[in-house]
Amino acid sequence: MKFDMFRVHFGDVGEWNERRWAMQKTRRVASAVVGCGLALSVLGGVAAAQQPQLPASDKPAAILVWPKIVVDTSDILETSVGSTDTLIQLSSAVPTRGSKAGDLPFLKQAHCFYVDATGHCSNNPSAGCQSSDDCIDEGSGITGSCDPGWTEVDFDIRITPEQPLAWLASEGLQNGDFPIQVPGTCSNNPRIACTSDDRCGGFKCILQPSNAGSGIPPTPEDPFVGSLTCIQFDPSSNPPAPDTSPTANGLIGNAAIEVVLDETGGVDVQKYNAVGIEKLCTFPAGATNCTVGAPISDTLILGGPAGPAQYQGCPARLILNHLFDGAEDAFEGSGPVTTDLTLVPCGNDFLRQTPGKVTAQFLVFNEFEQRFSTSANVDCFFESQISNIDTPNNERSIFHFNVAGTLAGQTIIRGIGSAPSGQGLLGVARVFMDGINGAAYNLNEKGALSTPDVITIP
Amino acid sequence: MRVLKQNPWLPSLGVLLAAVMIAGYARADVTTDEPGSIVIFPKVISDGSRDTLIQLTNTSTSTQHVTCVYVDTSTASPGTCSGTTPPVQSCETDADCFANDNGFCVRCQALNYLISLTPLQPTVWRVSAGRDEADQDHGIFIGKIKPYPLFQGEVKCFQTDIDGVPIGGNALKGEATLENISSGQISEYNGIAIKAINAQTVMPTCVGGSKAGSTCSTNSDCDGTPSGVCNVSLSLDNSEYNACPRQLLVNHYGGGAEDPATGATVTSELTLVPCSESLETGPPTSTSVTFNEYNEFEQFVVSKIVPFTCWLNITIGDAQSGDPRITPGFDVSTLGSTFAKTRLFTSTGDQKTCAGGISAGNFCNADGDCTGSTCSGPPASGILGVLEEFHDLNGDPTGTAAVNLHVTGSRTLDTINLMPSQ
């Protein structure tokens, strides 16, 4: 079947040169791949193991980022539709060796940072807020401003091979809550916990991988809006340091934002995968070498020039597929759709308590291939209903159905800026039908940044 | 025999790309985070109580043609007995096949639809309603996808040329949103993208018949004595397309466990589809999946092997509601903790499978292991999938959430065969 094609010519995209690249791409890429195939046959074929170029939400990694963690158990925030908490899941993807002794070297440590981006009311600094709507003093009628905040809390989790762990952000996990608390048991009596033979009265202390040494605090406040970043450490190094062993990419995770709905008493669950950034590795002769890049220190280099880069680089662009706000009948009889976008900088300075700062540029395309654009600052943490990104008046937004005129949209998000921590962005989106029933989904990525992002750790 | 279109080449750029690949930084996995040339939606439902919204986007700045293949396992698609006595026996229920000792009733009908996306165009359609060029109220739609008021299965979308022949380009991304129509609860997951590594077009050729190996555009080009089928074969071998994963990793609740956040009882549905398929060109794919489950105490709880044909949607529930093929084992009582991690994989390499009959796709070591066939089948197909949770609190509308599975490793044995769009 053949179709008559037509194209709507829109504004110049010259700053990205995408159209010019597309015209040349077909010839050059096909040509290069043929040349590549010939070259590979000379050089000995495709490498047996290869590594993705961009962070991924579906592969084990060394750094996991959960861009959106929400706690509002008392349903205080104006945007909440019920008591809200986030269930965070973290698992080790390292395979078991089939014995406790065999698994002991593969115990991993996740060094984690809660980033608290909850704002506080100017007229009541102890009250958390997302907007000034949360800062209305009912007694005086005075509305305060919602002043943004950024603090971090760090903690450690030890996780054994194959082990799944989960905790509520509002509660954390303290000593006694972890599944495997005991680092070892005496060979003569498994009920006796031990860390050395001395404890076992002449018998052996059989050490095992355990969660001993772990402690997950509750989020520092409730309500809480922020993100979580975990970096895989090697607990056997002294002091523990970012893992550069062959199993350096061993963590997977996801988060479920769960709401007990005021309106129905039912439950709404919005689940997404944590975004994983892999430690760069090479695979000489079937082995795995993850010591690539500059020597590990308190500065983790994500992408950029090949020599110093230790981890994958952040994406040059994020792609958000969405329905335009206000669109109805996405499903038969369904009410207006809204989408909520959360963005966090790829890089952060946790040592000096300086958050990443990036300007996000948005290019919005509707089904007619028409283009709109806007930008917004991502200062530590950015969260907005998409039709509020460019205007407080939703119905006049380029993200609203009234303006876009079509149901579906594609928004390309690019980070720019000159902050020392870089210009990369990561994110997650949530779509709501009727403002209540929601679903979360990961954003897509395209291209790698040529400049590095940096995470500085204490 | 595969025929490749010839293009001019730039050897210096090719050598540079080769050096990057040898250094170990080249892409080689399926992805839910990047555009690809094939986008797979493993769980698509339309049955009156649930519907699915499919969003598909062209991320490139040139027009792209897309062939979407609907693989329907619902009762709306014709059933065929899995056995070979006789080889093609129609059926409505398993009982029809049992009467002849002819396996069980398999429904797996594939139909393709060709649409086109203008540069950077997003599009969307409901599975129950379909969409065609008469529906331009909410945007451009070029093509036609018929409505499916009853559908259960997967949708695979391929980037193609204007003749419906798959090409590279890696321009497509997609999402699927499942809705419970009465409650309004929704679940959303990203389509699984398979990237093309080789951007060249693989030409269709006749398979079987007197013209086997000849290039073709339609089945009529393969007419002869005997006739063959016009077929395109896509290799997921990290040379032509990215390979399927070696294992899937699933974090999930124990079946019937209580959600610590809300107190809801949680059941899950794990949906799996085979990587290797003969879409409209051959019998449905049968394979066997091994489920290895671990609990929070790092204990290996259970290993189950589940064979399936075409599409698998298996419930992780409590002792009463869980699928009997994995229960007991995946229920919270047997699991011994609230949460579990499960590794899913099929065989690779030397493991043989039954070639047909009621044991099609089962692992085997000798012909005696296969009822109604021989132990001569291909390596078991790889798998892809998605997980959906159902949170039930006091019978109130059940909360739902879908999430993509994690993948690890790669296997280079899978192939997708399909017909050029007619």
The predicted-structure confidence for B219-239, as pLDDT tens digits, reads as follows: 888 888 888 888 888 999 988
d(CA A457, CA A348): 9
Residue matched to tokens 């706000």 = A325
The answer on B216 and B143 residing in a single domain is no
The answer on B410 and B284 residing in a single domain is yes
Residue B224 forms part of a structural domain: yes
| Cβ contact B403–A2 (<8 Å) | no
SS3 B357: helix
* Residue B19: per-residue pLDDT: 37
The answer on B180 and B130 residing in a single domain is yes
* Residue B422: per-residue pLDDT: 53
pLDDT, tens digit (0-9, with 9 covering 90-100), for B374-392: 888 777 899 999 999 999 9
The answer on B391 and B321 residing in a single domain is yes
| Chain A residues touching residue B268 (CB < 8 angstroms) | none
d(CA A346, CA A425): 5
Residue B20 forms part of a structural domain: no
Residue B340 forms part of a structural domain: yes
pLDDT, tens digit (0-9, with 9 covering 90-100), for A267-326: 999 999 999 999 999 988 878 899 999 998 899 999 999 889 999 999 999 999 999 999
Neighbouring residues of B257: CB distance < 8 A, sequence distance ≥ 6 = B265, B266, B332, B335, B338, B339
d(CA A243, CA A250): 10
Which ipTM did the prediction report? 0.88
Which of B180, B202, B224 is the endpoint of a domain? B202
Chain A nearest-CA distance from B129, in A, is 9
Closest CA to B154 of B283, B36, B272, B65: B272
* Residue A321: per-residue pLDDT: 96
φ/ψ of residue A284, rounded to 5: -70, 125
d(CA A75, CA A305): 46
Residue B290 forms part of a structural domain: yes
The answer on B252 and B225 residing in a single domain is no
* Residue B319: per-residue pLDDT: 93
Q: Which residue of B has its CA nearest to A100?
A: B298
Chain A nearest-CA distance from B158, in A, is 15
The answer on B154 and B218 residing in a single domain is no
* Residue B349: per-residue pLDDT: 63
Residue B88 forms part of a structural domain: no
Domain with CATH 2.60.290.11 in chain A: 313-458
Q: Which residue of A has its CA nearest to B169?
A: A26
Q: Report residues of chain A scoring pLDDT below 50.
A: 1-48
d(CA A250, CA A108): 8
Q: What is the CATH number of the domain that holds B189?
A: 2.60.290.11
| Cis? peptide before B420, omega within 30° of 0 | no
The answer on B177 and B218 residing in a single domain is no
Tokens representing residue B30 in the block: 């399926």
Q: How many CB pairs (< 8 A) connect A and B?
A: 367
Chain B nearest-CA distance from A107, in A, is 11
Q: What share of chain B in percent tops pLDDT 70?
A: 91
* Residue B358: per-residue pLDDT: 67
φ/ψ of residue A311, rounded to 5: -130, 165
Packing angle of the helix pair A18-43, B11-22 (nearest 10 deg): 70
d(CA A24, CA A20): 6
Residue B7 forms part of a structural domain: no
The answer on B388 and B304 residing in a single domain is yes
Which of B185, B202, B219 is the endpoint of a domain? B202
Q: How far is CA B68 from CA B41, B116, B159, in A?
A: 10, 11, 9
The answer on B62 and B151 residing in a single domain is yes
Does the CB of A366 have a partner CB in chain B at under 8 Å? yes
The answer on B267 and B298 residing in a single domain is yes
Tokens representing residue A168 in the block: 């509520």
d(CA B388, CA B261): 18
* Residue A276: per-residue pLDDT: 96
Q: How far is CA A337 from CA A328, A329, A432, B94, in A?
A: 6, 9, 6, 42
* Residue B30: per-residue pLDDT: 86
| Cβ contact A58–B35 (<8 Å) | no
Does the CB of A31 have a partner CB in chain B at under 8 Å? yes
* Residue A36: per-residue pLDDT: 37
Q: Which residue of A has its CA nearest to B164?
A: A1
Closest CA to B188 of A71, A310, A321, A189: A321
pTM reported for the whole predicted model: 0.88
- The whole domain housing B43 covers 26-73+108-202
Average pLDDT, chain B: 86
Into how many domains does chain B fold?
A: 3
| Chain A residues touching residue B39 (CB < 8 angstroms) | none
Where do the H-state alpha helices sit in A265-373?
none
| Chain A residues touching residue B189 (CB < 8 angstroms) | 441
d(CA A65, CA A134): 27
* Residue B350: per-residue pLDDT: 62
* Residue B348: per-residue pLDDT: 66
* Residue B3: per-residue pLDDT: 40
The arithmetic mean of pLDDT across residues B129-139, rounded, is: 83
Which of B151, B183, B202 is the endpoint of a domain? B202
Closest CA to A456 of A311, A343, A297: A297
Closest CA to B344 of B282, B290, B407: B290
The answer on B285 and B160 residing in a single domain is no
Does the domain at A313-458 match CATH 3.10.20.600? Answer given as no
SS3 B12: helix
Q: How far is CA A120 from CA A75, A117, A354, B409, in A?
A: 16, 10, 18, 46
The answer on B277 and B179 residing in a single domain is no
Q: How far is CA A95 from CA A108, A189, A344, B301, in A?
A: 12, 28, 31, 15
Closest CA to B64 of B161, B202, B133: B161
Bridge partner residues of B126 (DSSP)? B53, B130
